[in-house]
Amino acid sequence: MAYSYDTQNIFARILRGEIPNKTVLETPHTLAFHDIYPQAPVHALVIPKGAYVNFDHFAAEASAEEIVDFHRTAAAVCALLGVVEGDGYRAITNAGPHGMQEVPHYHLHIL
């Protein structure tokens, strides 16, 4: 599968520093920030810094280092935002038009 990545998508612009974000955590391969339109008391997005359009692109083509860093960062975000000890949360990702994905850069919602 040849994935096509839009370098002008809003998360690519955030990663280039062209648009501000409310950062929760940043690592060499991953950025986590608060969703601009929160759908829950806690709503953060975790994104890889690499140019991956969605979950299956990331899972298929990212390096082991990127994949580990992404998931460790997501776990740290859950702890930082206080959902680990609570009543639970959702970790979801949308892909493509049928998945209702709006921003074509892979992201995990933590709600």
Contacts by residues 72-77 (CB-CB < 8 Å, ≥ 24 positions apart): 72/27, 73/25, 73/27, 73/29, 73/30, 73/32, 73/46, 74/30, 74/32, 74/46, 74/108, 74/110, 76/25, 77/24, 77/25, 77/32, 77/44, 77/46, 77/110
| Distance in Å, CB of 2 to ligand AMP, minimum | 21
Residues of span 15-74 touching ligand AMP by CB under 6 A: 19, 21, 35-37, 45
Q: Which stretch binds ligand AMP (CB under 6 A): 24-32, 53-61, 62-70, 94-102?
A: 94-102
Task: Point out which span in 48-56, 60-68, 73-81, 93-101 binds ligand AMP (CB under 6 A).
Answer: 93-101
Q: Would you call 48 exposed, middle or buried from its count of C-beta atoms within 10 A (0-12, 13-18, 19+)?
A: buried
Which pair of structure tokens corresponds to residue 83? 């959902």
Q: Which is nearer to ligand AMP, 46 or 78 (CB)?
A: 46
Shortest distance in whole angstroms from residue 16 CB to ligand AMP: 13
From 9, 76, 101, 111, residue interacting with ligand AMP (rule: CB under 6 A) = 101
107 part of the active site: yes
Kindly list the residues in this chain that would bind ligand AMP in the complex (CB under 6 A).
10, 19, 21, 35-37, 45, 94, 100-103
